[in-house]
Amino acid sequence: MEYMEGHRRPGAAEPALTELTTDTGVRRRFVMPSFTAPLLIAIILLVAWQIGATRGFIDSLHFPPPSTIARATWSTLADGSLLTHLGATTVRILWAVAIGGFLGMVLGVAMGLSDRVRGALDPFVGALHPLPKIAVLPLLLVIFGIGDLPLILIIAAGVTFPMLINTMAGVSQIDPIHLDVARIHRAGRWMVVRRVVIPAAAPSVLAGLRLALNTALLIAIAVEMVAASSGLGEMIWMSWTTFRIENIYVAVFTTIAFGLGVNLLITLLTRIWIPWQRREAR
């Protein structure tokens, strides 16, 4: 074996390792995906839209030209309203992810580790997961009154299920040898959870978090349209009722940017927290 000789002659070890790890292909460098083509498409679409709307090929009342939307973006930024709305939505989502994410992870770990817990709770998950969470909004409004709390709870309910299901899947798919290794070394229960179960489930949990955040955004916009005095959903709804069409576009594009940012953040977190997964992830 080359590496053993490499060890005796330290200078020779590095190239030997590179050679030995080619089969696992890990030392590959991260290649940034090319954004050139999508960027080009976006620019072409925007230019076509601009020309179409200003020349009257498309109805500029419903499709205000990008320049008008840009001006509206600037003025809503300048008066602080856009950031207020974005901030309100973000805060609701963060609370919801904290509450629902925690609940989903705890239940997911318990259900993944214990068949008894899983058997007891599975029917409830099956029944409640498909329920559109917004259906119980009126009920929560009656119980808690109008305010942020019912909105956060509704979003949290939407977050709980993808987190729960993914955590459970990650935990129940742990390699049995890893649990045997922990047992034979007499690792305590807490150490097994902390050092084996959670890291083994981490890739699934992060995949669940990505789904959960997308669901959270969806529900947040919806509930804000109905029962909020701030937030991107409320901004969209108010712009419609006051017929500020360009502001609808501002809010929608902001929502798109928010979603993109969140997904980028998750990708980054995945890379930092689960470096060992890199190879399998691509």
Nearest distance from C-beta of residue 133 to other proteins, angstroms: 33
Q: How far is CA 41 from the centre of its chain?
A: 25
Tell me the C-alpha to C-alpha distance, in Å, between residue 244 and each of 94, 180, 232, 247, 250. 29, 63, 14, 5, 10
Nearest distance from C-beta of residue 268 to other proteins, angstroms: 18
CB atoms within 10 A of CB 132: 10
* Closer of 17 and 94 to other proteins (Cβ): 17
Which residues here bind other proteins, judged by CB under 8 A?
Answer: 1, 3-4, 7-8, 10, 13, 17, 20-21, 23-24, 26-27, 175, 177-178, 180-188, 191, 195-196, 199-200, 202, 274-277, 279
Per DSSP, the residues of 65-131 read -HHHHHHHHHHHHHTSHHHHHHHHHHHHHHHHHHHHHHHHHHHHHHHHH-HHHHHHHHHHHHHHTTS
* Closer of 149 and 187 to other proteins (Cβ): 187
* Closer of 103 and 200 to other proteins (Cβ): 200
Nearest distance from C-beta of residue 61 to other proteins, angstroms: 56
Nearest distance from C-beta of residue 176 to other proteins, angstroms: 10
CA pair distance 74, 186, nearest whole angstrom: 62
Length of the chain, in residues: 282
CB atoms within 10 A of CB 107: 22
CB atoms within 10 A of CB 144: 14
CA pair distance 202, 82, nearest whole angstrom: 35
* Closer of 27 and 55 to other proteins (Cβ): 27
Tell me the C-alpha to C-alpha distance, in Å, between residue 138 and each of 34, 151, 226. 46, 10, 10
* Closer of 181 and 260 to other proteins (Cβ): 181
* Closer of 10 and 130 to other proteins (Cβ): 10
* Closer of 18 and 229 to other proteins (Cβ): 18
Tell me the C-alpha to C-alpha distance, in Å, between residue 216 and each of 13, 72, 154, 206. 50, 26, 9, 15
Nearest distance from C-beta of residue 171 to other proteins, angstroms: 14
Nearest distance from C-beta of residue 60 to other proteins, angstroms: 55
Nearest distance from C-beta of residue 2 to other proteins, angstroms: 9
